[in-house]
Amino acid sequence: MKILFGVQGTGNGHISRSRELVRKLREDGHDLHVVISGRKESELREIEVFAPYTILKGLTLATRRGRMNYVDTMLQIDLIRLTTDVLTLDTSGVDLVITDFEPVTSMAARMKGIVSMGFGHQYAFPFNIPIARGNIFEKYTLLNFAPARYNAGLHWHHFNQPIFPPVIPETLYRAARPDEDPKKILVYLPFEEVEDIDEFLRPYDDYRFFIYGKVTEDRDDAHLSFRSYSREGFLRDLMECAGVVCNAGFELPGEALHLGKKLLLRPLDGQIEQESNALAMVELGYGMAMHSLDQEVLKDWLDKPGGTPLNYSRTVDFIAEWVASGRWDDLQTFTDAAWKDHRSEGG
């Protein structure tokens, strides 16, 4: 099958999970071309696996100091460029469009009458799952940013809905898990300023914090270890740590749950997806949440014990089987199989 695959480039989580599905679909013999939008090519990391690929401007959401900034989001939209990219996108011979919250491929599929699938956490929200209160604009944006005809939604729990488990990097299945350091904490807060994170963590010198996000070079400052982007180093620190402090995105918390790490989420203010994720995390009893860099919450969380590994299935295998089957209306059969293979107790 010839597949056009769209990846939202603004978040590393989109790239991480799309990397796994693209790899699997190509292994199964499908012909894929990838479109990445939402970030400049110079700012993208480890995307060689997607080749051949095309980089487009697309749409992205602007943030400032841990909050959504809707004014800046609206000001940066280039409707002429977006329309041109949609109309000129080469879709000749394409049988299927798969979009990981990527708007150009989503719009091209609708305009050119090509069957489309949404792949990712955002595509779980049309189903009955925990969702935070938000204004009409927030909910509309979440559901209509990059819509598709069929939805392969992902979540940390099934909620008795036809959604898949999280996508876990193959590395975390294959690598031997190192001994966990009870005093090592991984921190990934890319929407916060580095100086704010420093002030937040500085008092807790009984622990060593490995901090990723807006860090441009590696440096150690007492018990704070700042690390620039490295997927290999990040996954190593994730496997070794006892807990993770991060924004309430989807992919990293899913990887932490898979490994049994305790979690403290700080949702991006005004971003309904992240606020809903924090709500779900607490409702499920999988972790804690804070709505600011709250040192009292951090202190309480650091004293908590670790979790039990949830050992999620290889989700991309089941999604790839669903894609190849052509039985796209029969989503439940494939989501049920994925959760049945979920190896945690009572999963």
Per-residue pLDDT of the chain (347 residues; tens, 9 = 90+): 999 999 998 877 899 899 999 999 999 999 999 999 988 877 787 788 899 999 998 776 655 555 555 555 555 666 888 889 999 999 999 999 999 999 999 999 999 999 999 999 999 999 999 999 876 777 877 888 899 999 999 999 999 999 999 999 998 988 777 889 999 999 999 989 999 999 999 999 999 999 999 998 999 999 999 999 888 899 999 999 999 999 999 999 999 999 999 999 999 887 899 999 999 999 999 999 999 999 999 999 999 998 899 999 999 999 999 999 999 999 999 999 999 976 543 34
CATH of the domain at 241: 3.40.50.2000
Contacts 24+ apart (CB under 8 A), 78-85: 81/57, 82/57, 82/58, 82/107, 85/37, 85/56, 85/57, 85/58
Please provide the DSSP assignment of 103-149 as one string. HHHHHHHHHHT--EEEEEGGGGTTSS-------HHHHHHHHHSS--S
Co-location of 220 and 161 in the same domain: no
Among the listed residues 72, 80, 75, 119, the one whose alpha carbon sits nearest the alpha carbon of residue 97: 119
Q: Is residue 126 reached through a cis peptide bond, with omega within 30 degrees of 0 on the bond before it?
A: no
Co-location of 160 and 211 in the same domain: no
Co-location of 215 and 136 in the same domain: no
Count of structural domains, the chain: 2
Among the listed residues 279, 245, 278, the one whose alpha carbon sits nearest the alpha carbon of residue 261: 245
Co-location of 116 and 200 in the same domain: no
Co-location of 101 and 186 in the same domain: no
Token pair listed for 160: 């008795």
DSSP state of 52: S
Query: Tokens 């590696």, residue?
Result: 218
Looking only at Cα atoms, what is the longest distance across the chain? 59
Co-location of 130 and 117 in the same domain: yes
pTM: 0.90
Q: Alpha-carbon distance 168 to 255, whole Å?
A: 6
Q: Alpha-carbon distance 5 to 94, whole Å?
A: 10
Side chain identity at residue 90, one-letter code: D
Co-location of 60 and 184 in the same domain: no
**Distance from first CA to last CA of the chain, Å, rounded?**
33
What's the domain range around 227? 170-302
Q: Are 126 and 171 in contact (CB under 8 A)?
A: no
